[in-house]
């Protein structure tokens, strides 16, 4: 059953990991997906996987923090698929350190990608959503749109070594709860999903120099084997989550079954509370 048939979904950071899985799950439910990632090649790979499975998708590569990105992203959805129903703010990375070693650049970069970019994308989408909601209300055809902002249990619970990231992810909770109140009148559900420990490149086991490239910088990511084992030992379900399981938590909040759920933070963490 295609529960999202006729809907258009926008997903940032969907070239890899949880976002890539989510884009494919949304498409499998019938949504037409606008796939974004910083890196063009993985963006196209997600689009190709969706199309190969019989779905519809378009690539919109680019940095979510770029000044012109929100206009391009929303414009891509409207021009390619003629609508906009689901927005998932998922793109991001970590740039960890103890608070006393976090530079201004490091702080700002993490706020920009995790908090300011979602704010700017949602602000860009506002006028279309407001006007559509008015038209739909006038014709007795209410359409329940969905926003899901991706947070972390670092934001909801705190995490040593991630002051910049935790602050940005906690900020998303405030943004979510506020927008749920502002946009309820336009029939938009705004929720947050906070992940725990999910198996992606951000949490991979460190072997030698494990780094990812972001805007020309190299960021060390991953956990040492002992650190990973210690974290897994605290997860009530006893294992790391898969990207598919993490994306499943987001999908739930995009489905018609979630039409009366708004302003919530759903922790998808196997019970991990840090």
Ligand X SMILES: NC(=O)c1ccc[n+]([C@@H]2O[C@H](COP(=O)([O-])OP(=O)(O)OC[C@H]3O[C@@H](n4cnc5c(N)ncnc54)[C@H](O)[C@@H]3O)[C@@H](O)[C@H]2O)c1
Which residue among 11, 34, 88, 93 contacts ligand X (CB under 6 A)? 93
> Which part of the chain contacts ligand X (CB under 6 A), choosing from 16-24, 136-144, 176-184, 227-235?
16-24
CA distance 59 to 48: 9
What are the C-alpha distances in Å from 269 to residues 86, 102, 202, 242?
23, 27, 15, 10
What are the C-alpha distances in Å from 178 to residues 164, 166, 190?
21, 19, 9
CA distance 43 to 209: 25
Which residue among 7, 25, 46, 65 contacts ligand X (CB under 6 A)? 65
> Is 18 near ligand X (CB under 6 A)?
yes
Q: Which two tokens stand for residue 247?
A: 């994306």
Cα–Cα nearest to 219, from 199, 234, 235, 204: 204
Which residue among 10, 31, 87, 202 contacts ligand X (CB under 6 A)? 202
Residues 111-130 close enough to bind ligand X by CB under 6 A: 113
Kindly state the DSSP code that residue 66 receives in the 8-state scheme.
Answer: S
The one catalytic residue in 93, 165, 186, 260 is: 165
Nearer Cβ to ligand X (73/186): 73
C-beta of 241: minimal distance to ligand X in Å? 7
Residues 135-154 close enough to bind ligand X by CB under 6 A: 150, 152
> Is 96 near ligand X (CB under 6 A)?
no
Is 165 annotated as catalytic? yes
CA torsion 58-128-27-35 (nearest 10°) is 40
Q: What residues form DSSP beta bridges with 152? A: 195
C-beta of 100: minimal distance to ligand X in Å? 23
Asked if 78 and 127 touch (Cβ cutoff 8 Å), the reply is: no
Residues 151-170 close enough to bind ligand X by CB under 6 A: 152
Instruction: Write out the catalytic residue numbers.
Output: 165
Residues that bind ligand X (CB under 6 A): 12-13, 15-19, 36-39, 42, 63-65, 90-93, 113, 150, 152, 195, 197-198, 200-203, 214
């Amino acid at each position: 059953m295609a529960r999202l048939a006729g809907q258009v979904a926008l997903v940032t950071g969907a070239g890899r990991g949880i976002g890539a899985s989510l884009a494919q799950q949304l498409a499998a439910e019938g949504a037409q997906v606008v796939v974004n990632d910083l890196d063009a090649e993985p963006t196209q790979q997600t689009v190709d996987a969706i199309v190969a499975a019989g779905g519809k998708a378009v690539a919109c590569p680019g940095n979510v923090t770029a000044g012109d990105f929100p206009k391009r992203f929303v414009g891509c959805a409207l021009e390619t698929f003629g609508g906009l129903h689901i927005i998932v703010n998922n793109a991001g990375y970590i740039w960890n350190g103890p608070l006393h070693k976090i530079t201004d650049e490091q702080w700002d970069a993490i706020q920009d990608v995790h908090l300011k970019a979602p704010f700017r994308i949602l602000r860009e989408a506002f006028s279309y959503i407001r006007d559509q909601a008015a038209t739909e209300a006038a014709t007795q055809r209410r359409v329940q749109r969905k926003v899901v902002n991706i947070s972390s249990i670092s934001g909801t619970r705190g995490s040593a070594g991630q002051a910049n990231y935790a602050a940005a992810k906690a900020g998303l909770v405030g943004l979510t709860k506020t927008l749920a109140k502002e946009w309820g009148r336009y029939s938009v559900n705004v929720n947050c999903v906070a992940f725990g420990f999910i198996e992606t490149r951000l949490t991979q086991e460190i072997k030698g120099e494990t780094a990812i490239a972001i805007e020309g910088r190299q960021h060390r990511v991953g956990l040492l084997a002992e650190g990973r084992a210690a974290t897994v030992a605290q997860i009530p379900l006893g294992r790391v989550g898969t990207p598919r399981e993490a994306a499943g938590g987001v999908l739930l909040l995009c489905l018609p079954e979630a039409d009366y759920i708004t302003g919530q933070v759903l922790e998808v963490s196997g019970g991990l509370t840090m």
